């Protein structure tokens, strides 16, 4: 992981206990006050984190995707 935003997003998912598809959260539910980026930019970072297997998509909520941190993502935060 090279980007501070990626680290912050993983930290948010961990702190909010979004660790399974049932506990996953939408981007709008995330406390993003420390991240000065657009929703679109956050979505692109989430796509990158999914490709790295740090994050997975959870259950759909309405028309929104939800996200949760994986075991690989949790281990990446420890490094």
| DSSP labels, 3-72 | -HHHHHHHHHHHHTT--STTT-B-TTTS--TT----HHHHHHHHHHHHHTTSEEE---BTTB--EEE-HH
pLDDT in tens, 48-72: 999 999 999 999 999 999 999 999 9
Q: How confident is the model at residue 1 (pLDDT cuts 50, 70, 90)?
A: low
pLDDT of residue 42: 95
pTM: 0.93
Looking at the predicted structure, is the pLDDT value of residue 27 above 80?
yes
Average pLDDT over residues 20-31: 96
pLDDT of residue 49: 97
């Amino acid at each position: 992981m090279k980007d501070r935003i990626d680290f912050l997003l993983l930290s948010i998912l961990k702190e909010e206990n979004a660790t399974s598809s049932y506990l996953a959260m939408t981007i709008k539910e995330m406390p993003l006050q420390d991240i000065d980026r657009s929703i679109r930019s956050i979505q692109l970072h989430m796509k990158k984190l999914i490709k790295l297997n740090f994050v997975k998509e959870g259950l759909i909520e309405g028309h929104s995707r939800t996200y949760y941190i994986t075991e690989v993502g949790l281990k990446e935060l420890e490094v």
